[in-house]
Amino acid sequence: MTIQITIIKIEEYGPWTLKLGSDREGQLQIFQAKLYGHLQKMFSERDAIVYFNRFDELIAISNGLSTEDHLDIEREISDSYKDLDISMSIGIGATPFEANIAAHH
Protein backbone atom coordinates (compact mmCIF):
# COMPACT_ATOMS: atom_id res chain seq x y z
CA MET A 1 0.00 0.00 0.00
CA THR A 2 1.22 3.50 -0.80
CA ILE A 3 0.30 6.85 0.67
CA GLN A 4 -0.03 10.04 -1.36
CA ILE A 5 0.38 13.39 0.37
CA THR A 6 -0.07 16.83 -1.15
CA ILE A 7 1.58 19.85 0.43
CA ILE A 8 -0.37 23.02 -0.33
CA LYS A 9 1.66 26.18 0.22
CA ILE A 10 0.55 29.81 0.13
CA GLU A 11 3.35 31.52 -1.77
CA GLU A 12 4.77 34.84 -0.53
CA TYR A 13 2.57 34.57 2.57
CA GLY A 14 4.47 37.13 4.67
CA PRO A 15 4.45 39.91 2.07
CA TRP A 16 0.85 39.06 1.18
CA THR A 17 -0.31 39.50 4.79
CA LEU A 18 1.29 42.96 4.96
CA LYS A 19 -1.00 44.12 2.15
CA LEU A 20 -3.95 43.67 4.53
CA GLY A 21 -2.91 46.61 6.74
CA SER A 22 -2.04 47.00 10.40
CA ASP A 23 -5.32 45.56 11.74
CA ARG A 24 -5.01 42.40 9.68
CA GLU A 25 -5.24 39.66 12.33
CA GLY A 26 -9.03 39.36 12.17
CA GLN A 27 -8.93 39.45 8.37
CA LEU A 28 -6.25 36.74 8.33
CA GLN A 29 -8.28 34.46 10.61
CA ILE A 30 -11.37 34.86 8.43
CA PHE A 31 -9.39 34.33 5.23
CA GLN A 32 -7.58 31.24 6.53
CA ALA A 33 -10.86 29.68 7.62
CA LYS A 34 -12.44 30.46 4.24
CA LEU A 35 -9.47 29.08 2.26
CA TYR A 36 -9.31 25.95 4.43
CA GLY A 37 -13.05 25.38 3.96
CA HIS A 38 -12.77 25.84 0.20
CA LEU A 39 -9.79 23.45 -0.07
CA GLN A 40 -11.42 20.93 2.25
CA LYS A 41 -14.58 20.94 0.13
CA MET A 42 -12.69 20.40 -3.12
CA PHE A 43 -10.45 17.66 -1.73
CA SER A 44 -13.27 15.90 0.14
CA GLU A 45 -15.36 15.82 -3.05
CA ARG A 46 -12.50 13.68 -4.38
CA ASP A 47 -12.35 11.43 -1.27
CA ALA A 48 -9.32 13.23 0.22
CA ILE A 49 -8.85 15.29 3.38
CA VAL A 50 -6.90 18.46 4.24
CA TYR A 51 -5.16 19.40 7.50
CA PHE A 52 -3.50 22.63 8.59
CA ASN A 53 0.25 22.35 9.07
CA ARG A 54 1.19 26.02 9.44
CA PHE A 55 -0.68 29.17 8.58
CA ASP A 56 0.95 29.21 5.15
CA GLU A 57 0.87 25.46 4.56
CA LEU A 58 -1.71 22.68 4.53
CA ILE A 59 -1.29 18.95 4.01
CA ALA A 60 -3.76 16.72 2.21
CA ILE A 61 -4.01 12.96 2.27
CA SER A 62 -4.68 12.73 -1.44
CA ASN A 63 -4.62 9.02 -2.28
CA GLY A 64 -6.10 8.44 -5.72
CA LEU A 65 -6.03 12.06 -6.86
CA SER A 66 -4.45 12.61 -10.26
CA THR A 67 -2.28 15.47 -11.42
CA GLU A 68 -5.32 16.76 -13.31
CA ASP A 69 -7.39 16.73 -10.08
CA HIS A 70 -4.70 18.84 -8.42
CA LEU A 71 -4.57 21.24 -11.38
CA ASP A 72 -8.37 21.64 -11.27
CA ILE A 73 -8.18 22.52 -7.56
CA GLU A 74 -5.32 24.95 -8.13
CA ARG A 75 -7.21 26.65 -10.97
CA GLU A 76 -10.34 27.07 -8.86
CA ILE A 77 -8.34 28.57 -6.00
CA SER A 78 -6.55 30.92 -8.42
CA ASP A 79 -9.88 32.00 -9.90
CA SER A 80 -11.44 32.51 -6.47
CA TYR A 81 -8.53 34.31 -4.76
CA LYS A 82 -6.98 36.63 -7.34
CA ASP A 83 -4.31 38.09 -5.02
CA LEU A 84 -3.12 34.72 -3.77
CA ASP A 85 -0.75 32.16 -5.25
CA ILE A 86 -0.60 28.58 -4.05
CA SER A 87 1.64 25.71 -5.00
CA MET A 88 1.13 22.01 -4.52
CA SER A 89 3.75 19.28 -4.16
CA ILE A 90 2.72 15.65 -4.40
CA GLY A 91 4.65 12.85 -2.71
CA ILE A 92 4.12 9.11 -2.65
CA GLY A 93 5.65 6.64 -0.21
CA ALA A 94 5.18 3.40 1.65
CA THR A 95 4.53 5.41 4.85
CA PRO A 96 3.14 8.88 5.51
CA PHE A 97 6.65 9.99 6.52
CA GLU A 98 8.14 8.78 3.23
CA ALA A 99 5.34 10.46 1.26
CA ASN A 100 5.92 13.70 3.16
CA ILE A 101 9.66 13.60 2.43
CA ALA A 102 8.96 12.90 -1.24
CA ALA A 103 6.54 15.85 -1.42
CA HIS A 104 9.15 18.17 0.08
CA HIS A 105 11.68 17.12 -2.57
Listed residue (85, 5, 12) closest to 53, CA to CA: 5
pLDDT in tens, 47-59: 999 999 887 899 9
> CB–CB of 84/77 below 8 Å?
yes
Q: How far apart are CA 40 and CA 25, in angstroms?
A: 22
pTM for the model stands at 0.88
pLDDT in tens, 30-48: 888 899 999 999 999 999 9
Query: Strand 57-61 and strand 86-93: pairing?
Result: unpaired
Percent of the chain's residues with pLDDT above 90: 65
